[in-house]
Every structure is written in C-alpha cells, then in structure tokens.
C-alpha cells in the first residue's frame, strides 16, 4: 500500500516497508523530458548519499530498479536517478543528466535532510559504465553540461561503485562473446552513433579508462568472471588504470557469476561495499 501526495514538483511516497519508503523529486526538465529521482533514506542521519544509475544497455531500464537500495540499512541515503535513454539522446546527455541530479541533491540537501558530502556514484551494467564515467570526470566541462537549475553547485563525487559496467568502448566489441555482440552493437549505434572505430573521439570521450587521473576518487569494482554480456576484461582495464595511478581501488571478482544476480547485492556484498566506502571516505 502506498500513499501519494502531490506537492508541486515533488511527489512524496510512503509505504509500509521501511527500506522501500521513498520520495520522488523532479530534478530537471530538458527538451520536454522531466527527469526525476527516487530518494530512499536511512532511519537516522545519512552518512552520505549514493546516487544510483540503472542499467539497460543505455536504451532501456528504469530508476525503479535499485540494486543497492539495501545500503540504507548501513546508514546511506540512496537516490535512484533518471537519465535520457539513448533512443532520446546520445552521449554525453546521460552524463549531463546524472551530474544535474547530483547538483540538485546538493542544492536541496538541507531541505531533504542530506549531507552535502560524501556523494558516491554507483550503477550496474550500462549504469555501472555511466557511474564510472561520471565518477572519473569531476569538473570535466564536456561531461558536465548545463542541465537543471543549479549550475552553481558542485557535481563532484567522492567514490565510485561500479557493478559489471563497461570501461573502454574502443575495446569492448573485440572482447565480447557472440551474445554480447548481439546486445552491444545495436546499443552502441544508439549510444554513440555507430561502431566505435567510426566515431573514435566520441568513443574515447565515453570511456572511463581515458579519463582517469591522480585526482580521481576511490573505486569499488564488482564483476562476474562468467559474464556473457559485459566482458570482465572491461573491469580489468579500469582496475589496471587505477592501479597505474596508485589510486584506491578494490576489484571483487564474482567467480562463477554471470551478468548480475543476488551475489552483487546480498547482505555480505552490501557490508563489503559499506566497509570500503567507510574506510576510504573517513581518511
């Protein structure tokens, strides 16, 4: 059962299960599209905000799919955000939208009962890729955009949690299984407008591995070694670049796991993610 109360641009939602209570907020309007986020709060003061980015090959999916919603039990607020899908707008629209959501949350932090820091960007599959590219492009003008009304706010994040996402669109097709290619090739046609070799500058702009520098935030990677859809070598590439920069990184290889599943967000994994964030963000 859910109680819905319309309040201007805010839709407040309550339900009986504590972990499922959320409030819905419109954080931007762009090209006639309203972009919303669902905010899940912990029972006490939030020790930080996890911004969640859903998957769906960049062209599908919904903010209602929130794998890390259980992080509220560890004291984190979780904001699951909309972004324009690739059938509506190609990259970098998705980065612009997600950064706009972060700016909105910071601008309204006091009203929403949130801290202004730390912010963690996280996602799974295509959402993991978008989380990574947003996370390693703090203050990057091409990735920032001008979406939303809070351009005076900082869109920086202090950590990244990337669950089986892409990291290098210039190599992803050569690493893919036949099944992976059947998903990835049409998805890339929408997302970047063609084969990466045909749009090399955009493929690099979209690939986290080419944007990592010594100032980037701690990174938690998790990927199944039997993933038929997103090659685990994508995670190995980002892990390697992070290691080469001596940046804090943890790579959790899920042996025997495919593309997603409960092993990526069960109680053990949520506790592991919380420990990583707590350790690195308290330094």
**How high is the mean pLDDT of the chain?**
93
DSSP characters for the chain?
Answer: -EEEEEETTEEEEEESSGGG-EEEEEEEEETTEEEEEEEE--SS--S-EEEEE--STTTS--TT--TTGGGGGGT-EEEEE----TTT--TTHHHHHHHHHHHHHHHTHHHHT--SS-EEEEEETHHHHHHHHHHT-TT-HHHH---SS-TTS----SEEEEES----TTTHHHH--HHHHHHHHHHHHHHTSS-TTTSHHHHHHT-GGGT--TTPPPEEEEEETT-SSS-HHHHHHHHHHHHHTT--EEEEEETT--SS-GGGTSHHHHHHHHHHHHHHHT-
Band of the pLDDT at 146, cuts 50, 70, 90? very high
Q: Indicate yes or no: pTM above 0.85.
A: yes
Band of the pLDDT at 5, cuts 50, 70, 90? very low
**Whether the predicted pLDDT of 13 surpasses 50:** no
Question: Stretch 143-167: mean pLDDT, rounded?
Answer: 98
Which CATH architecture describes the domain 44-66+86-281? 3-Layer(aba) Sandwich (3.40)
pLDDT of residue 19: 58
**Whether the predicted pLDDT of 3 surpasses 80:** no
pLDDT digits (tens, 9 = 90+) for 31-81: 888 999 999 999 999 999 999 999 999 999 999 999 999 999 999 999 999
Band of the pLDDT at 283, cuts 50, 70, 90? confident
Question: Stretch 237-243: mean pLDDT, rounded?
Answer: 98
């Amino acid at each position: 059962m859910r109680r819905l109360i319309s309040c201007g641009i805010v839709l407040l939602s309550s339900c009986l299960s504590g972990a499922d209570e959320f409030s819905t907020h419109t954080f931007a309007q762009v090209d006639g599209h309203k972009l919303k986020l669902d905010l899940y709060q912990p029972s006490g003061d939030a020790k930080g905000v996890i911004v969640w980015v859903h998957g769906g090959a960049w062209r599908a999916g919904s903010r209602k799919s929130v794998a890390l919603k259980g992080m509220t039990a560890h004291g984190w607020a979780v904001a699951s955000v909309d972004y324009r899908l690739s059938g509506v707008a190609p990259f970098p629209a998705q980065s612009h939208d997600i950064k706009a959501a972060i700016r909105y949350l910071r601008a309204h932090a006091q009203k929403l009962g949130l801290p202004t820091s730390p912010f963690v960007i996280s996602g799974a599959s295509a959402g993991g890729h978008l989380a990574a590219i947003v996370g390693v492009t703090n203050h990057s003008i091409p990735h920032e955009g001008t979406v939303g009304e809070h351009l005076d706010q900082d869109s920086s994040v202090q950590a990244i949690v990337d669950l089986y996402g892409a990291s290098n669109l210039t190599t992803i097709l050569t690493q893919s299984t036949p099944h992976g290619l059947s998903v990835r090739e049409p998805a890339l046609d929408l997302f970047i407008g063609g084969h990466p070799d045909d749009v090399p500058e955009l493929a690099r702009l979209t690939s986290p591995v080419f944007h990592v520098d010594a100032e980037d935030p701690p990174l938690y990677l998790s990927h199944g070694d039997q993933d038929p859809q997103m090659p685990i070598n994508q995670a190995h590439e980002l892990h390697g670049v992070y290691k080469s920069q001596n940046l804090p990184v943890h790579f959790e290889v899920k042996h025997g796991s495919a593309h997603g599943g409960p092993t990526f967000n069960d109680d053990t994994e949520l506790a592991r993610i919380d420990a990583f964030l707590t350790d690195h963000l308290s330094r």
